[in-house]
Chain A
Amino acid sequence: MSLVIRKYIPQLIVSVIIVLSVTFYYIYINDSIAKGFSTADKALSDWAVIVTSFALIVGGVDILRFHLTKIRREGIRQAPFSTVTIALLIIMVVLATIGWYYSYADPKAGITITTQPQFRWLYSNLYAPADSAMYSILVFYIASASYRAFRVRNPPALLLLVTAVIVMLGNTTIGGLIWPGFLGLRDWIMTVPNTAAFRPITIGAGLGTIILGLRLLTWREISWMGRRD
């Protein structure tokens, strides 16, 4: 019985939804069926929105649990890092709740979750600089990597280097001073050879999605239920 509830019923629901979705998306029978399908389709999308919202709460609880377990296992060495994470998580949730409360209790004050002063201060002065700094560090990594990678060891490497130089010069204002044609050449590289290279990848991803749908339909794909057996 439990196997039926845990495995077969969910798989059956997924299969029925796939068949109905594909059928009514491509086949038009009459107005009332099309309208009925559209309503049901919208309801399914809305459920996904609601489920995702709840998943965020699960995510928050999971972070809390993960770090508490880490402190318990690794002790004082891990404690400072995990404590900061947990403390900030709780502080942000509390401040957001205050903002949310004011948005309903006193709408004229103009305080919402994102405009709650302390929430916004922490986000703008703590999270934003840290996030930007993490991203900015990439510049050193990319500069160092490109300087080492773009060595003309063979003809394909030369081709790669020439392409990179054109794209880089096309992205700068100095490149335009050297030769205005770099900009047009950069655009050509992006729209012609680059698109030609990426299009098969996009088509491949599309075919992969179709195959995934077929695997779900035939009950071969079960990882979405949280197990592989």
Chain B
Amino acid sequence: MINMSRSISLGKILESRELLYTLLLISVILPIIHPLGIPIAVSARTKAVYDYIENNLKPGCHVYFEIYYEVAARGELEPNVVALTKHLFDKGCKIVYGSLASFGVIVFELMKTTAADVFQGREYGKDYVFLGYVAGGESAAASLAKSIKGTVSVDNYGNRIENLPLMQEVDKATDFDLVIIASSGTDTFAYYVRQWYTPYNVPLLFAALSIIAPSIEPYVGAKQAVGMLVGQRAGAEYETLVGRLGLGMASMDAQSTSHMLVLVFIVIGNVVYWSQRLSSKRGGGK
């Protein structure tokens, strides 16, 4: 009887949301202030993406980069975008950035400010171009695939597209060696599969939020995309591979401790649940 009341009171304490929330806050903030520095292993999937770029893209190649995530998703996707950009620039690739979302414009600017070292020494118009926001969702993706110059007349900064040296080298989907989609939504990946991969067979590479990745996994399984970087962990792994540790690596400790805390609570929750269940069964038996 005493055991039962003890388990009930422990259960009540653990049931209180305030305890979990407080511990969760601590587990997120503390590792950011005092990093644990736990080494990170690179998964086979992230390594496969790195190897694809390393083996298939030659200096002077052209990459189209879709930036489709809001500020809230920066923590998970920006490490991937920055690390991929660094890798592509190091390989001598030229990048055309674009966004099918209005918020992509400001997110790109924020990313450029955060990763100023990555863009240092790269000339705008020759090494990279930012088209800005292109309205129209899937129709815009289809239109860009047919002709960028026929879809947008000026870039994000008001420069005429035809005056930019890089845009004289590329115009349609087949001019690109790789298309990268960094998106916090599910539909964007489908747009590019339908409008860029299926008609033109352009290799696609995905960078997705952990919560979105499961739903777009079939595209990767069907080889409609060459690979996928999933969430913050993949960002941290890619940062390790390209040798520029940033936001991804910095927040991995916080992700690890918060995940572990939730796991501990799941275990405790089950112990309390089963002890209550067994006690009530014993009580009922008597």
Q: Which residues of A contact B (CB under 8 A)?
A: 38, 41-42, 44-46, 48-49, 51-53, 55-56, 103-104, 107, 110, 112-115, 120, 123-124, 127-128, 131-132, 134-136, 139-140, 143-144, 146-148, 150-152, 161, 164-165, 168-169, 171-177, 180, 183-184, 186-187, 190-191, 194-195, 198-199, 201-202
Contacts and interface: CB of A to CB of B under 8 A. Distances in A.
A171 B217 contact: no
Nearest to B195: A45
A140 B262 CA distance: 10
Nearest to A152: B270
B255 A172 contact: yes
| Residue from A46, A128, A132, A147 with most neighbouring chain B CB atoms (10 Å) | A147
A115 B270 CA distance: 52
A53 B17 CA distance: 45
Contact of B72 (A103, A104, A135): A135
Nearest to A41: B146
Contacts of B260: 172, 174
A140 B74 CA distance: 19
B71 A174 contact: no
Contacts of B139: 44-45, 48-49, 52
A63 to B, nearest CB: 14
Given A112-B156, A148-B269, A168-B262, 4 more contacts: A51-B136, A114-B106, A164-B266, A173-B252
Interface of B: 17, 20-21, 24, 28, 38-41, 43-45, 70-75, 102, 105-106, 109-110, 134-137, 139-140, 142-143, 146-147, 150-151, 156-159, 210, 213-215, 217-221, 230-231, 233, 252-253, 255-263, 265-266, 269-270, 273-274
B40 A176 contact: yes
Nearest to A136: B72
Contacts of B213: 190
B21 A140 contact: yes
Given A104-B158, A151-B270, A144 B17 contact: yes
B146 to A, nearest CB: 5
B54 to A, nearest CB: 20
Nearest to A200: B218
Contacts, number: 179
A171 B262 contact: no
Given A38-B146, A114-B106, A120-B106, A195 B71 contact: no
Given A127-B71, A140-B24, A173-B39, A49 B143 contact: yes
Given A49-B151, A52-B136, A150 B269 contact: yes
B274 A152 contact: yes
Main secondary structure of the interface of B (DSSP, over half): helix
Contacts of A195: 217-218, 220-221
A201 B262 CA distance: 30
Contacts of B137: 52
B45 A103 contact: no
Contacts of A152: 270, 273-274
Contact of B158 (A103, A173, A202): A103
Contacts of A169: 259, 263
A49 B221 contact: no
B74 A143 contact: no
Given A114-B106, A187-B45, A199-B218, A147 B253 contact: no
Contacts of B219: 202
24 contacts: A42-B146, A45-B143, A46-B150, A48-B139, A52-B139, A53-B135, A55-B135, A56-B135, A103-B158, A114-B109, A114-B156, A123-B106, A144-B17, A147-B266, A150-B270, A151-B270, A169-B259, A171-B259, A172-B260, A173-B252, A174-B260, A176-B38, A191-B217, A195-B218
